[in-house]
Amino acid sequence: MQEKTLIPILGDQLSWNMSSLAGQEKDRSVLLMMEVEAEATYVKHHKAKIAYIFSAMRHHAETLRSRGWTVDYVKLDDPDNSGSFTGEIARACERYTIDSIRITEAGEWRIMAMIENWQDQFDIPVTICPDDRFIATHKEFDDWAEGKKQLRMEFFYREMRRKTGLLLDEDGKPEGGKWNYDAENRKPAQSDLMMPKPIRFDPDEITQEVMELVAEKFADHPGSLDHFHFAVTHEEALRQRRQFLDHALAQFGDYQDAMLTGEPFLWHSILSPYINSGLLDPLELCQEVADLYADGKVPLNAAEGFIRQIIGWREYVRGIYWREGPDYAERNFLDARRPLPEFYYTGDTDMLCLSEAIGQTLDLSYAHHIQRLMITGNFALIAGIDPHAVHIWYLEVYADAYEWVELPNTLGMSQFGDGGIIASKPYASSGNYINKMSDHCTSCRYDVKQRMGKKACPFNALYWDFLARNEEKLAKNNRLAMPYRIWNAMDSDVQKQLRDGAQAFLERL
Ligand code: FAD
Ligand code: DLZ
Ligand code: SF4
C-alpha cells in the first residue's frame, strides 16, 4: 500500500489555504477531520457553538473533497470514535500506511502539548507548520515585546498597519493624520435608528442532523439551539461579510460601544466565529474595508475602528496568549474568589443590562464587545468573581471562543487577572457608564442614579466597594487617581454605607 501523509485538520482550521496543505500532493495525503467528545466537553460549550463547529467542519470536508483531497471524516456518533484527537490519530494510523504527520499549529497550549507528543507516541515524524493566517508571527510579536516595560496594543497596532500598509498614505503616514479614531467610536444609539440585520441562515440538512446530535449528546450544556443563525459554509460567511460591509460598516465606527435593549447586533459584523474558525480571511476582509474607505463609501472612523479590532486587538491578544505561557489561565492578581453567580447560566436577574446580555448570549451564542466587557465582564470584576470561573464561562458560551483569543480578553482585559499586562487599568464602572451607553436603565427595576437603598443600581455600591477592596493593589495606578480621590473625599459614613450595601448584595448573590 502507498505510504501517505496524515494531515489532521482541526475544527478551527477550516481555511482553504491551511499551511499544513501547502505543497502537499493530493494522492499522497489523507486529511483527517474528527468530531471528538473531548473537544466538545473539556468545557461545556454552548449547544449552538458545537452545532456551528460540527456543521462548518462537515461542510468544509465536502468542499475539500470536491477539490480533490481525500478526507477521512470521523463523526461524533461513529461507534468506534475514541473520543480524543490522539485516539483518532492512533486509529487512522491503523487504517492507512502513514509515513508522516503534518499539522498546522493548534490555537491553544492544551492541544499543542498533545501534538508535541505524537512523534514519540506513534514513532512517526510530525511536522508542525506555523499558522500563517495571522499577520504577525510569534517571533515578530516577541521581538516587538522584547525589553518593553509596557505592551500597549496601540503601538503594536501601528506596527501591523506598517506591515500591511492598511490605511497608510503614499508617504507611509496614517490616513487622516491620526493612527486611532477611538474617540469617535463612542456614540450612544437611539432605538429609532434604522439598523441592519445580520442574515439568519436557515439550517440545511447537514446542520439539522448536527443539531439533533448536539441536542441528544449535550443536553446539559448551556444555551439554546432554537435561534441558530450561523453561516456554516465559506459562501454563507461571505454573504454575511457582504451584508456587513454594505449595510453596517459605515455606522460601525460611531456606534461601536452602544447598547440597546432587544437589539443584540446593532452595527457589529457578527464575523468573529467565521474569522476564528477559518471560513473568512482576516486580512482580505481588512483590505476590503480599506478599499471601501478609499472609494469614499465609508468614513475613516468606521474603517479604522474596524481594522484596528482585527489587525490590532486580535493579533495583539494572540501574541500575549503565546508569550505569557500556559499558566496565564491561573493568574488572579486581585485574588478574587467568589463563585460565578448562577444567573450567568439562566439570565434570571432583575438587573436588566445583565439579563439582556446573558439572555441573548444563551439564545445566540453572541454578544458584542461592550456587552462582554462592560456588562458581564464589569459585573464579574466589581463583584470579585474568580477570574478563572469567568474565563470558563466566556470560553463556553461564545461561538467565537477559542482559548488563544478568549483568555487574554477575559482574564487580562476584562478581569485584570494579569495585573495590567493588557489593560492599563481595570475596566470597572458604576451604572453611570451603562446608562450613558445604553437605554437599559430606563426600563430597569433599579435606579441608576441611586447609590444606596433598595432601589439603588447594584453596580454603584459594587464599584466603590471594588475600589476600596483593592486599594492596596490599585491605588498606585495613575489612571485610577481620580476615582480614589473621590472615594477618599467621601464622608466615612457614606463609605461605610456603600460598602455595607455592596456586602449585603454580594451575600444575596
Ligand atoms: P465586531 O464588533 O464587528 O468587530 C470586528 C472583528 O474584530 C471581530 O469579528 C473580531 O474578529 C475582531 N475583534 C474585535 N475586538 C476584538 C478583541 N478584543 N480581540 C480579538 N478580536 C477582536 N473575541 C473573539 O473572537 N473570541 C472570544 O472568545 C472573545 N472573547 C472575549 C471576551 C471578553 C471578556 C471580551 C471583552 C471580548 C472578547 N472578544 C472575543 C472580543 C470581541 O468581543 C469579539 O471579537 C466581538 O464581540 C465579536 O463580534 P463581532 O464579530 O460582531 O465583532
Ligand atoms: C471547539 C471545538 C469543538 C467543540 N469540537 C471540536 C471537534 O470535535 N473537533 C475539532 O477538530 N475541533 C473542535 N473544536 C475546536 C478545537 O477545540 C480547536 O481546534 C482547538 O481548541 C485548538 O484551537
Ligand atoms: Fe444595569 Fe443598574 Fe442600569 Fe439596571 S440600573 S440596567 S442594573 S446599570
Confidence of residue 185 (pLDDT cuts 50, 70, 90): low
Q: For residue 399, count CB atoms less than 10 angstroms from its CB and return exposed for 0-12, middle for 13-18, buried for 19 or more.
A: buried
Q: What is the pLDDT of residues 373-396, one digit of tens each?
A: 999 999 999 999 999 999 999 999
Distances (CA, A) of 504 to 136, 338, 447, 449, 498: 48, 14, 17, 19, 10
Residue 366 above 70 pLDDT? yes
Could you write out the three-class secondary structure of 131-196?
CCCCCCCHHHHHHHHCCCCCCCHHHHHHHHHHHHCCCECCCCCEHHHCCCCHHHCCCCCCCCCCCC
| Cα–Cα dist 58/208, whole Å | 12
CA distance 36 to 43: 13
* Ligand 1: residue whose CA is nearest its atom 45: 272
- List all residues whose CB is within 6 A of at least one atom of ligand 3: 351-353, 431, 434-435, 440-441, 444, 446, 448, 457-459
Helix axes 153-164, 315-324, angle to 10 degrees: 120
> Minimum-distance ligand to the CA of 449?
3
Spell out the residues 6+ positions from residue 11 whose beta carbon is closer than 8 angstroms to its own: 39, 53, 54, 56, 57, 277
Q: Is the CB of 89 under 6 A from ligand 2?
A: no
Beta bridge partners of 456: 447
Residue 195 has pLDDT above 90, yes or no: no
Do 367 and 228 form a contact (C-beta atoms < 8 A)?
Answer: no
Ligand 1 pocket: which of 257, 286, 309 to mutate (most atoms within 8 A of CB): 309
Binning pLDDT at 50, 70 and 90, where does residue 238 land?
A: very high
Atom of ligand 2 nearest to the CA of 13: 19
Whether the CB of 383 sits within 6 Å of ligand 2: no
Indicate which ligand has the atom closest to the C-alpha of 445: 3
- The whole-number pLDDT of residue 355 equals 98
Ligand nearest to C-alpha 461: 3
Q: By C-alpha distance, which of 227, 317, 279, 211 is closest to 17?
A: 279
Cα distance between residue 252 and residue 301, in whole Å = 8
On the question of pLDDT at 183 being above 90, the answer is: no
Ligand 2 touching residue 356 (CB < 6 A) = no
Say if residue 115's pLDDT is above 70.
yes
What is the per-residue pLDDT for 404?
98
Residue nearest to atom 30 of ligand 1 (CA): 406
Give the confidence band of 182 by pLDDT, cuts at 50, 70, 90: confident
- Regarding the beta carbon of 267 and ligand 2, being less than 6 Å apart is answered no
Judge whether residue 484 has pLDDT over 70. yes
Q: Was domain 138-196+248-324 assigned CATH 3.40.50.261?
A: no
Rounded to the nearest whole angstrom, what is the distance from the C-alpha of residue 242 to the centroid of ligand 2? 27
- Domain range 4-129, CATH class: alpha beta
Report d(CA 409, CA 370) in Å as an integer: 12
Q: Which atom of ligand 2 is nearest to the CA of 49?
A: 4
pLDDT at 165 over 80: yes
- C-alpha distance from residue 219 to each of 46, 340, 444 (Å): 10, 21, 32
Q: Inform me whether the pLDDT recorded for 177 exceeds 90.
A: yes
Confidence of residue 189 (pLDDT cuts 50, 70, 90): confident
Q: Rg of the chain over CA atoms, in angstroms?
A: 24
pLDDT band per the 50, 70, 90 thresholds, residue 490: very high
Name which residue sits closest to atom 1 of ligand 3, judged by CA: 353
**100: Cα separation from own chain's centroid:** 33
210 lines ligand 2 (CB under 6 A): no
Can you list the pairs that 475-478 forms with residues at least 24 positions away whose Cβ atoms lie under 8 Å? 477/420, 477/424, 477/425
Q: Quote the pLDDT of residue 72.
A: 98
Greatest Cα pair distance in the chain: 84
Is pLDDT at 190 greater than 80 in this prediction? Answer: no
Q: Which atom of ligand 1 is nearest to the CA of 273?
A: 25
Ligand with minimal distance to 435 CA: 3
Decide: 8 in ligand 2 pocket, CB within 6 A: no
Contact 256, 305 (CB under 8 A): yes
All three cell numbers of 270 = 457578527
Which numbered ligand comes closest to the C-alpha of 444? 3
Going from the Cα of 73 to the center of ligand 1, the distance in angstroms, rounded, reads 30
Buried b (16+ CB within 10 A) or exposed e, 250-268: bbbbbbbbbbbbebbbbbb
CB distance 18 to ligand 2 below 6 Å: no
- The CATH superfamily label for domain 342-508 reads DNA Cyclobutane Dipyrimidine Photolyase, subunit A, domain 3 (1.10.579.10)
CB 407 within 8 A of CB 107: no
| Ligand having the closest approach to the CA of 43 | 2
Among protein residues, the one with the nearest Cα to ligand 1's atom 42 is 369
Q: How far is the CA of 265 from the centre of ligand 3 (A)?
A: 20
What distance in angstroms lies between residue 207's CA and the mean position of ligand 2's atoms?
A: 17
- DSSP secondary-structure letter at 28? G
Backbone φ, ψ for residue 456 (5° rounding): -65, 140
pLDDT digits (tens, 9 = 90+) for 19-73: 999 999 999 999 999 999 999 999 999 999 999 999 999 999 999 999 999 999 9
At 410, which amino acid appears? T
Residue 186 has pLDDT above 70, yes or no: no
* Mean pLDDT of all residues belonging to the chain: 96
Contact 201, 51 (CB under 8 A): no
Average pLDDT over residues 288-306: 96
Q: Give the Cα separation of 4 and 25 in Å (integer).
A: 10
Local structure of 20: helix, strand or coil: coil
Cα 89 to middle of ligand 2, angstroms: 15
- Please give the helix or strand (H or E) that residue 128 lies within, else none: strand 126-129
C-alpha cell recorded at residue 192: 429609532
Three cell numbers written together for 436: 450613558
The two counts, helices (H) then strands (E), for the chain are 23, 5
Average pLDDT over residues 427-439: 96
Secondary structure of the chain: what % helix, strand, coil (to 5)? 55, 5, 40
Share of the chain above pLDDT 70, in %: 99
Q: What is the mean pLDDT of residues 332-360?
A: 98
Hey, where are the domains in the chain? Answer: 4-129, 138-196+248-324, 342-508
Amino acid in the structure at residue 301: N
Please give the pLDDT value at position 197: 84
pTM: 0.97
Nearest CA, atom 18, ligand 1: 313
CA distances from 59 to 40, 194, 228, 287, 291 (A): 18, 34, 16, 26, 30
153 lines ligand 1 (CB under 6 A): no
